[in-house]
Every structure is written in C-alpha cells, then in structure tokens.
Amino acid sequence: MNLVKNKAKIYYDAIIKYVQRIECVSGPDSYIFMYSCDSPTYMYIGSLSQNDDDNFCFVGGLVHEAYHIKQCKDYTIEHQIDPLQVPYDVYGNRQGETRCLLAEYDVLKQIGAPQKYLDWVYREVIDSEWWEE
C-alpha cells in the first residue's frame, strides 16, 4: 500500500475514504473481489500469495472495487437517498464498470505495473460488453 500512497495518492485517498471494511476470505480462487455499497461499505478479497504479480492484482482489484463504492456513495450524497435506491447503472453495468476499469488501469500505470497488466485491463475495457446482458 505504500507504493500506492507514494505514487498514486489520489487512489490511496479514495480507498481510505470509501472503503470502511475489508474482509479477507480464503478459498481456492486467488482473486476474488466483491464489494457492497451498504453501510458500512466493505469489500471481500480472496487469498493472495506474496509475489509481485499478486501485488499488482491486489492493488488493481482494490482500486476497482473502491471505485464501484465511490460511484454509489457519491450518488447517495448527491441525491440524498439510501444506497439501496441507487440505480445499478450508476455504479455497475457498462458505464460503472468502465469507470472502475479506467481507474484500475490508471493506478497500475502510476505504480509501474508491467505492461501485461495494463494490456489485460485495457482489453477488459474494450470488451466491456460481457456484463451488459
């Protein structure tokens, strides 16, 4: 996290501001990321090992989920409504996903992630139709 704090402070601040609780879950899948906009906002993170590759995935996932929460939370404040009333289009579907992927791409770029990660995230943005239906 120091890497993010030093090199991409805007994302570090977003994680601190929007994610109130992080729970780690262990399981067979290495990269599980889930989020909830309800109070307290929280995310689940799957078990990760300690190599650099995982660190990049970890940071990318963290920022990605934090941005889902950010979009939802900002909307509740702007419109003075409950998180459950926020339309899914605001923070999910193509529009929401794309914003999260762009944030993920940007933070990975700022912390110097290898090009293969940037390519992977970029492809997700380009191929972002998969969650539409």
- Applying CB under 5 A, which residues contact Zn ion? 97, 100
- Residue among 100 and 121 whose Cβ is closer to Zn ion: 100
Shortest Å, Cβ 53 to Zn ion: 20
Shortest Å, Cβ 54 to Zn ion: 19
- Which run of H or of E encompasses 91? helix 88-91
Shortest Å, Cβ 21 to Zn ion: 18
**Looking at beta carbons, which residue is closest to Zn ion?**
100
12, burial (CB in 10 Å: exposed 0-12, middle 13-18, buried 19+): buried
∠ at Cα 30 (6, 1), nearest 5°? 10
- Residue among 47 and 93 whose Cβ is closer to Zn ion: 93
- Residue among 8 and 100 whose Cβ is closer to Zn ion: 100
- Residue among 62 and 113 whose Cβ is closer to Zn ion: 62
Joined together, the tokens standing for residue 82 give 């409950």
Joined together, the tokens standing for residue 43 give 């995310």
Euclidean distance between CA atoms 25 and 16, whole angstroms = 20
∠ at Cα 66 (62, 70), nearest 5°? 170
Shortest Å, Cβ 112 to Zn ion: 23
Task: Classify residue 112 by its DSSP letter.
Answer: T
Task: Classify residue 84 by its DSSP letter.
Answer: G
